[in-house]
Amino acid sequence: MEISEVFLRELSKIPEAIIFFNKLNNTNKYSIAWGLDTAKKPKTHQKRMKLIIEMMKQEKKFN
């Protein structure tokens, strides 16, 4: 499962978030990809993406 290009583009606008994201292990990256890919509606995808970006800014992991 790959991370959405849109997510990575938005994440790269926040230097501390992208630095933290790059330190995550594959399990955490898979959780992010799964969370974004399983959103059925664009509105849900956007909501999850914002939540995940906030987590990256706060250096919070999924697992």
Does the residue 63 lie in any domain? no
- C-alpha–C-alpha distance, residues 4 and 30, integer Å: 11
Domain that holds residue 14: 5-57
Per residue in 7-58, pLDDT tens? 999 999 999 999 999 999 999 999 999 999 999 999 999 999 999 999 999 9
pTM for this structure? 0.86
Does the residue 42 lie in any domain? yes
Does the residue 32 lie in any domain? yes
Dihedral in degrees, nearest 10, Cα atoms 6, 14, 20, 60: -90
Does the residue 62 lie in any domain? no
**Which tokens hold the place of 1?**
């499962």
Token pair 């800014």 in the structure block, residue: 57
Token pair 């399990």 in the structure block, residue: 27
**What total of structural domains would you count in the chain?**
1
- C-alpha–C-alpha distance, residues 18 and 22, integer Å: 6
